[in-house]
Structure 1
């Protein structure tokens, strides 16, 4: 693992159709050639939706009581999810990385128990303004990260390329692949490695006015500034901010939400582009895991 002055970088590449991973891959090449440890985590919501539709089903998204939107993953959807994420996207991105000269190793959260926690079989949602419990869910909240496995790969010169699903522990002791949010997976990895987390997405960061790119919030270093970021985040951005607070609470030194399609997107984020949130913003703040417990049950990669 890198020394204390150069923590590893965990990069989450968004799964939106508008996100091109080419710039991030080029940056990973530069960082690893300079001796920086990098772990890549990816989502893939668009491709998962396409796979579900090709199988004759309809993607279903639900909203938690606190307004976070995520995928409802029943048994059939989980099969499509695993096909798309671990079977197709992870293999493709690993191949792209290797073609660029990165010694990449593709892994899912199930491999080596990298990402593990109890399966959630029911979720709390809001439908037509009413709170309901939906059963038949296949998702989980990450409670452990096999950081030793990742650290070992990094020490041997490999760049892990990681995606959901995670290892979901059933009440009878068995383990099954389940959905988990890719942003929060990246946060868990960053916390486990005491890393810097870069969440790349299809916008430049968190906007004070979500409809106005000129209102980019550049940093949050105090609890009051973090509250402003949390208040401004809407839709899927809310989960990125949630992931940021979880990563910082678990040991990450800072989190940056930045534009995946910018020139040199990772390096630009490390140099101050996007929205940077530091651990000082958590001082006197409530524990993220306690204040957002029900949100852990609504996932989307």
Structure 2
């Protein structure tokens, strides 16, 4: 056995989340995943796609609608019509195209939605609490959900057979009567759930180099958080779309991931660089001895409606 083969058997899997915004170029991640897979590292790719979902809606003459939850998180309101476009864009167009990119790079990629094999599952939330004009309201007819289970056996079976799963929302929404409905789920949190279930390292790729203490100054990047105080500093610094990524990072660690790195997708060798310490790395030790559950937005789930 070669040294690289021996090393790969002791390394945890890697879950790579590729952002869905136009500012994020997946080419570097594709090359890195090909490199890691060729060297025996198990990799699962999860992708977002809010920009393409919005473009699909606009082509269909549907206005994308975003709402604010009572906890201040902004996310997509996904009615039945929007859900059709969401599934077309995410599981249809984007997942197929990204899987083809990986296969072109020599990766034995398999495209999956969260519905396939019950890969990502949880209860559907058909009614959500939102804030409109400063008032709290209940909006009904939503197709969203929170992931409560991951079919890790499906992923490990594919990984053991040498395949690289490429996963996208939607997830399998449980209606409570045995029926399953495809529903919207946040791609960062989907990646977090998978990383936790597999005990994997999680790399969240975006269009900035990490979490900045001053959101307007890249020179203030927080390189690492290994204590509860360090995690609190990261949470305090995270604003806007970065807040969602830090929430996902915490959920991944609570679920069983060893570390999470938030890093730039557009640098050379972005995944390898992130695993080597480039970006903001949050270690599991940052949860402390007794971690609490991550704050849960009240009802509004997003599909990665982020800037990256």
2:12 corresponds in structure 1 to 7
**Structure 1 spans left out of the alignment, 5+ residues:** none
Instruction: Specify which of 123, 141, 144 is matched with residue 146 of structure 2.
Output: 141
Instruction: Specify which of 90, 93, 113 is matched with residue 95 of structure 2.
Output: 90
1:219 corresponds in structure 2 to 224
2:303 corresponds in structure 1 to 300
Q: Secondary structure at the match of 2:297?
A: helix
2:166 corresponds in structure 1 to 161
Q: CA deviation at 1:3?
A: 7.0
Q: Secondary structure at the match of 2:61?
A: coil
Q: Residue 253 in 1 paired to residue 258 in 2?
A: yes
1:22 corresponds in structure 2 to 27
Q: Residue 77 in 1 paired to residue 77 in 2?
A: no
**Structure 2 spans left out of the alignment, 5+ residues:** 1-6
Counterpart CA distance in 1 for 2:29 and 2:92 is 21
Where does structure 1 differ by over 6 angstroms across 4 or more consecutive aligned residues? none
8 A Cα contact 2:69 2:299, kept in partner: no
Distance 1:226 1:4, change over 3 A: farther
Q: CA deviation at 1:169?
A: 0.4
8 A Cα contact 1:222 1:282, kept in partner: yes
Q: Secondary structure at the match of 1:293?
A: coil
Distance 1:37 1:29, change over 3 A: same
Counterpart CA distance in 1 for 2:298 and 2:277 is 29
8 A Cα contact 1:141 1:297, kept in partner: no
8 A Cα contact 1:68 1:236, kept in partner: no
8 A Cα contact 1:123 1:298, kept in partner: no
RMSD over aligned Cα atoms:
1.4
Per-residue CA distance 1:100-136 (angstroms, 9 max, x = gap): 1000000000000000000001112222222222211
Instruction: Specify which of 112, 117, 129 is matched with residue 124 of structure 1.
Output: 129
Q: Which moved more, 1:60-69 or 1:25-34?
A: 60-69
1:183 corresponds in structure 2 to 188
1:240 corresponds in structure 2 to 245
Counterpart CA distance in 2 for 1:131 and 1:4 is 51
Distance 1:133 1:155, change over 3 A: same
8 A Cα contact 1:124 1:294, kept in partner: no
TM-score, normalization: structure 1? Answer: 0.96
Distance 1:296 1:204, change over 3 A: farther
